[in-house]
Structure 1
């Protein structure tokens, strides 16, 4: 999920200036692109399935490979900012916990369920035609349809749709934020921060073999707080407005250094997370005269679709084609060129998916929900 994975322009267009919306829209598109590049590079290097390409020029360097993963951190900062920023429109009288969570669920779940279903159909095909029962078809794994975390066959905390691990944290944050907003619509930030800290300690002191430990003890959840704090500073006009380039360049350098030194995930929030927060601040306060190409705006519009479908494109389509290419020919194909093709293809398929599936589906759910429930004011 930005303007994060689970927000659209319509939800904040009345509370933010047009230029801020556009810059955040572009940022989420670039963040999604960074994640796609990260996974494309991994696909032709450490996850290449023993396929032999010609020697990579530079992408086998772990620094180059890991930089794109920071797109996830940008998403989390964006989510924290937007949830806090839109909270001003609620009061005790207008806030409905049920409606709030229903709207978030409608924005996130349908498309996620569609893509997860496609993966399950691929696994069922293997079962019916090749008698290969997949680990992911077990009942407790299917619970990932509803953002319930579990370990995959390799012991990693990933749902059936691998990139969905970030959505599990998004949903956790939405629930925490909604409950905090129910407690205090005027100042939910301390309640959000305190709740996430308590959940972190619950996870940290849980048995290390459990899902609870693996899920809740991930310090990446504190990146939502970075976004919320930026939202507070932005509303109170504490953010410096003339240091955009400095903030963006500093954030990029921090992320590069964190990748170079292979910083442990326990400190990701304090390194890559801080870098993502600086990039976000820089984009948020860009001069209103700065104009983005329309392609960048489209990339932002389609970012959720791109994020969800790119792994399917890479591993279910590109890999199927590559496995059919003779090894002698494959060895003459440059790994960077394959990664570039995977990246471009993922973006194009994601944009197509946005226009043909996500947008019509979201419009239908919005109309259905508006007829059955009162909209949140």
Structure 2
């Protein structure tokens, strides 16, 4: 019996994508126009990444917890996970490279070695500066997704008596690095990646799913209220740094509570979700991958106009919202005409793998 589809989790995915779009609008404004978007209020939207990581951990355990220790499920799991990430990513990445190289004369592409191209297409960890300037800036987060899938695949491929010690040893290293006991070379991208504190957010999502499936949580509303409060507090702390702790401890825990609360509500009864919010959730991956390119190019084109349309700060902020909406719409179109057909194409193959 398949797990119940949780529409609120999809809504969360759409919300996380929109937060990232707004945060990147400010980032692109700073890079291209040397000015802020909406007084930098939306910069905390980078926490959408924290939300995505927690959601990924939750979804993996919620859907695949019965596959743990069953090696015969490994092929299907890997096929589903990798076809969910790579095909659309390759389409968007290739399109972006060609557009940058042909239309926008991005000469630095010519100076990038073949090794960096291979890393980018395989989502192997690499310098984020290279990703931002040449490939897809958001792809560093996909590297963490792929790594998490591989670690979860270990739980499926091996019996618990073998997989659990490996996972515990890895998580111990992540935790000790997080609290500063394990010191790693700053210039070693791979080690910093494997033991990054961000991996803990996937684990938080897994714990959320475990708690939900193993405990009878009678009322999810308190979890949502506390989660909203902590998320708001974390957003304020993003500017003022009065807590002085990592986003894993602020946004990560807040997102975990929101996921537990929302999922527990929906497991008890069907929640009617507006179709638009559900659609945004379904299109969140396309929006996430493509939004930066569209906002970046729109601002570059308009900057070249003979008159400065960004001079008026209020008008510039209105334009920023408009650019964000256009980018979201473009992402939705990519979902409808590229991602959705790809998912349809690979779905029957996943069943027979």
Which structure's residues are more often helix, by fraction? Answer: 2
The within-5 A match list for 1:201-280 is 205-239=183-217, 241=219, 242-262=221-241, 267-280=246-259
The answer to whether the Cα contact below 8 Å between 1:84 and 1:231 also exists between their aligned partners in 2 is yes
Which consecutive residues of structure 2, in runs of 5 or more, have no partner in the other structure?
none
- Superposed CA RMSD in Å reads 3.1
> Alpha-carbon deviation of 1:235?
0.6
1:331 aligns to 2:311 (yes or no): yes
In 2, the alpha carbon distance for the partners of 1:200 and 1:172 equals 17
Relative to structure 1, the CA distance from residue 136 to residue 342 in structure 2 (aligned partners, 3 Å threshold; closer, same or farther) is: farther
Structure 2: distance between partners of 1:359 and 1:136: 35
Paired residues, number: 345
Question: Closer, same or farther in 2 for the Cα pair 1:328/1:250, shift >3 Å?
Answer: closer
Quick check: 1:114 aligned with 2:98?
A: no
**TM-score of the two chains, using structure 1 as the length reference:** 0.80
Residues 1:75 and 2:52 are matched in the alignment? yes
1:1-377 aligned within 5 A? 14-16=2-4, 18=5, 21-44=6-29, 46-50=30-34, 59-61=38-40, 64-90=41-67, 92-93=69-70, 95-125=72-102, 132-134=107-109, 137-142=112-117, 143-152=119-128, 154=129, 160-184=135-159, 192-198=167-173, 205-239=183-217, 241=219, 242-262=221-241, 267-286=246-265, 288=269, 290-316=271-297, 318-332=298-312, 334-370=315-351, 374-375=352-353
Change in Cα spacing, 1:345 to 1:130, as seen in structure 2 (3 Å) is closer
Q: Tell me, which stretches of 5 or more residues in structure 1 are unaligned? A: 1-12
Distance 2:317 2:130 in 1: 30
Question: Compared with structure 1, are the counterparts of its residues 117 and 157 closer, same or farther at alpha carbon in structure 2 (3 Å cutoff)?
Answer: closer
Q: Distance in 2 between matches of 1:191 and 1:263?
A: 37
> How high is the TM-score relative to the length of structure 2?
0.85
Structure 1 CA distance for aligned equivalents of residues 210 and 147 of structure 2: 21
- Say if 2:9 and 2:262, in contact at 8 Å, map to a contact too: yes
